[in-house]
Structure 1
């Protein structure tokens, strides 16, 4: 593998050698939501140069983190068990990063995969266990995300479904998750547009997905 060598016999040094190159962890993040074709990975990371995406995929495959697999006559990339072991690392890094988000810049976007992982990062199982089962349909920029919470179980992925609350939002939705933006303020300022359902359910959403203080 062509990743840098830090010259240290250390678990952390080896981990950074394997996934510390630019874009590598974001590729892993997107694959944590499910297998992806090359074009789907490229679409989910619109700023990655094609040569860099190809190089990172080869490096991660050589490291045993992902593999190419045939799926319905197409080739997809999927994480190996070794690669899936990065999930708690990705979620912990996401929780740490959400504390320093600040306001979204005009050119910043969210994707279904990035939002799915951020929601899994901020999911409060103990809180959700005491709330009624609730489903949410979120229009994130130009993509759809369906979220179902049933007790301690969270199911989140791309697509639509019958939801108790449907809303449209952009990157500012993460400010609700981080606790920087109150649901009522988000609605009043247009950061979140309600499409269907009771506005009070956005408060439930904010209670269910919130970084621990």
Structure 2
């Protein structure tokens, strides 16, 4: 297990890295923050991870008490989910993402998993207290059935789930890249020009997009420079 090849130090940082410091471990955690997933779902979200590596990380995280496996109906499908202790990693994972925004992505760093995109919305949404609650169904068509999400806008945050509402105020159908590119926009022109479809109240969609404030990458990430910011999943809108 990780501790056998770990740092053999008593400090909390070293002990934490013994648990989640292996490659893919924190990304497995990221993919489970919005709810349980099957092994095949995790493979789709982490396409460059080999099945053996993914199996190893899940086994190690389960042994450490970060992840658990259970069966759900119908058909007793096997899924993986974070334990209560494992969910405590969320502020660490999203803060790491915000810290990394100071370094613009390389040409190879283009893939964005569907849950990562939706975590960006949940993390960086700035609520408007005086506006009423609203619900959305978001369908990211480049991810098929896995791209359907529910979003509930409240006076305090944006709640994101894998279970879309039955009667949402608006339905937005688009692609992951188009959604990310539209975050922070004051109008829907860019989203519509990218082929998005909106059914219902477009003002709810505009409110969602306009209120997601993702910190922009900067060139100010020199050694010794601190860069405060909200914890986040770490995905700026893709370059267009």
* In structure 1, C-alpha distance between the alignment counterparts of 2:46 and 2:39, rounded to whole Å: 11
Question: Paired residue for 2:232?
Answer: none
* CA root-mean-square deviation: 3.0
The corresponding residue for 1:164 is 169
1:31-110 matches, within 5 Å, as 31-72=32-73, 73-98=76-101, 100=103, 108-110=111-113
Segments of structure 2 that go 5 or more residues without pairing to the other structure are 216-228, 230-240
Q: Cα offset for 1:63?
A: 1.4
Structure with the largest fraction of strand? 1
Q: 1:184 Cα shift?
A: 4.1
User: Equivalent residue for 1:134?
Assistant: 134
Q: Distance in 1 between matches of 2:66 and 2:109?
A: 33
User: Which residue number in structure 2 is paired with residue 173 of structure 1?
Assistant: 179
- Does 2:148 align with 1:144? yes
Q: Distance in 2 between matches of 1:136 and 1:123?
A: 14
SS of the aligned residue for 2:135 comes to: strand
Check the 8 A contact 1:95/1:122 in 2, yes or no: no
1:52 to partner: Cα distance: 0.5
**For 2:119, what is the secondary structure of its paired residue?**
helix
Distance 2:123 2:6 in 1: 30
CA pair 103-41 structure 1, distance change in 2 beyond 3 A: same
Structure 2 CA distance for aligned equivalents of residues 193 and 63 of structure 1: 43
CA distance in 2: counterparts of 1:105 and 1:147, whole angstroms: 30
Give the TM-score normalised by structure 1.
0.79
1:81 to 1:148, Cα distance in 2 relative to 1, 3 A: same
Q: 2:117 aligns with which of 115, 118, 125?
A: 115
* Greater relative contact order (Cα < 8 A, sep 6+): 2
CA–CA separation in structure 2 for the residues paired with 1:203 and 1:53:
38
| CA shift for structure 1 position 146 | 1.7
CA contact (8 A) 2:35 2:161 kept: no
Structure 1's unaligned 5+ residue stretches are none
* Residues 60-113 of structure 1: CA deviation (Å, up to 9, x unaligned): 1121111222333333222222211111112222333456565997962431x2
Conserved? CA contact 1:66–1:77, under 8 Å: yes
Please say if residues 124 and 212 of structure 2, whose CA atoms lie closer than 8 Å, have aligned partners that are also in contact: yes
Residue 21 (structure 1) aligns with: 22
Counterpart for residue 204 of structure 1: 207
- The residue aligned with 1:187 is 191
**CA drift at 1:182:** 5.5
Indicate how the Cα distance of structure 1 residues 119 and 53 shifts in structure 2: closer, same or farther if over 3 A, else same: same
Preserved CA contact (<8 Å) 1:136 1:164: yes
Preserved CA contact (<8 Å) 1:94 1:118 = no
